[in-house]
Structure 1
Amino acid sequence: MANNNKNNSQINGRQIFVQQFLKHPLQVGSIIPSSRFLERRIIEAANVDSASVVVELGPGTGGTTRALLNAMPQHARLVSIELNAYFHNLISQIEDDRVIAHLGSACDIQSILAEYDLHAPNAVISGIPFSTMSRSLGTQIIEAVSSVLAPRGRFVAYQTRDRVATLCRPIMGSEQAEMEFFNLPPTRIYQWEKKMDDMVEQPAL
């Protein structure tokens, strides 16, 4: 019976993804949810198991959100920022005190963290499709992510195209990338680590 419920949930998740993709093709990055293989790679790339604050941009139907929660420490917090009201409602129904479902834009990540009195995130994970947004909007989001990340914090973006890498290199430098073929469509996982500030404060004269 439990397997039937899980299968029905997966089928419903796919149907919802297709419906929202057809309604909002520029907002939804894929026509079906991420596979468990892709979720595992995302978790490893972001070092979620040692994070205290994680931000998820574009959680969709919540499959990756649940995978992150399963991997996170019990004391950690997860802020899921979703622009799509239908997806946001689904995330709001997740029964876990560690998750904060926020309806809003990824551009506002700094003010959103301040609203919930959270410190700089150790990881920001993005499933939003940079390939379908304007260059200026994509750059704005990446600059916002870079500004809030903790030193050595990681930005992980899973994408079907390489637009995010082109936008991110001038801001966060060269990326690490790998492909997950056990996902439809096959998806790249991009990773950046925020460098420590190597400027040493000079003593006052």
Structure 2
Amino acid sequence: MAVQERPSVLAGPERRAQLTLFARNFFKHPRMLGSIIPSSSFLVRRLLEPVDWERARVVVEYGPGVGTITREILSRLHPDATLVVIETNDDFVDFLNRSLSDPRLKVIAGSAETILAELERLGLPAADYVVAGLPFSTMPAEIRERILKGSHEALGPEGAMLIYQFSPKVSSDLRQTFTRVESTFEPINIPPARVYFCHK
């Protein structure tokens, strides 16, 4: 089991800063975040449950926000693995760079649409897992399709995309893109979330 550079749970002042930043950005971009507070520990555990941490060497996370899921991934990630997080919000990018100091972490300011180019730029092989909490239901259809198609192409043969959503709207797109899609539900979250495990 990998040893994390920093604890997965932030201490008092850092935790308050994390929550304040998240809430402030929720009011600025409610359709991009979907919730006023970060994901619950129950949702994070359910989302990451299928990951084979011994095998995974390249993990990509879309929309890490204030790093709630990012920290949990780092706490489980193999010492020789790499976590690439792609975030469009400059406030979140700055927060992640300031609050997380782990050599396995690569923070990218940009769009999930560029995943293939980013992996190539970093000299990384195909991803073992892509983790996403992006609001697929509220984004334009053409962007949603490009992200899902690019994610499918960026995954290795045994790769999987792990997604949580507050709306079931993306379900049909996932089934059109991936060979096999499993879904489950996490009620202990605000709001409750649907979780999808999409196999290449």
Structure 1 counterpart SS, 2:156: coil
- Alignment correspondent of 2:169: 163
> Please, what TM-score do these two structures have when normalized by structure 2?
0.89
Q: 1:144 and 2:150 equivalent? A: yes
Assess, with a 3 A threshold, how the Cα gap between structure 1 residues 31 and 47 changes in structure 2: closer, same or farther: farther
| Between structures 1 and 2, the one with greater strand share | 2
AA matched with 1:111: A
Structure 2 counterpart SS, 1:88: helix
62-71 vs 30-39, greater mean Cα deviation: 30-39
Taking the TM superposition and a 5 Å limit, the aligned residue runs for 1:39-188 are: 39-93=44-98, 94-188=100-194
Q: Give % identity.
A: 35
Structure 2 counterpart SS, 1:175: strand
Per the TM alignment, residue 6 of structure 1 is displaced from its structure 2 partner at its CA by 2.5
| Superposed CA offset, 1:49-92 (max 9, x none) | 53100000000001110100001111100000001111111121
- Alignment correspondent of 2:30: 25
Unaligned segments of structure 1, at least 5 residues: 195-205
Cα separation, 1, equivalents of 2:177 and 2:88: 24
> Please, what TM-score do these two structures have when normalized by structure 1?
0.87
Please give the root-mean-square deviation of Cα atoms over the aligned residues, in Å.
1.7
Assess, with a 3 A threshold, how the Cα gap between structure 1 residues 34 and 153 changes in structure 2: closer, same or farther: same
Structure 1 counterpart SS, 2:60: strand
The structure with the largest alpha-carbon Rg is: 1
Per the TM alignment, residue 104 of structure 1 is displaced from its structure 2 partner at its CA by 0.3
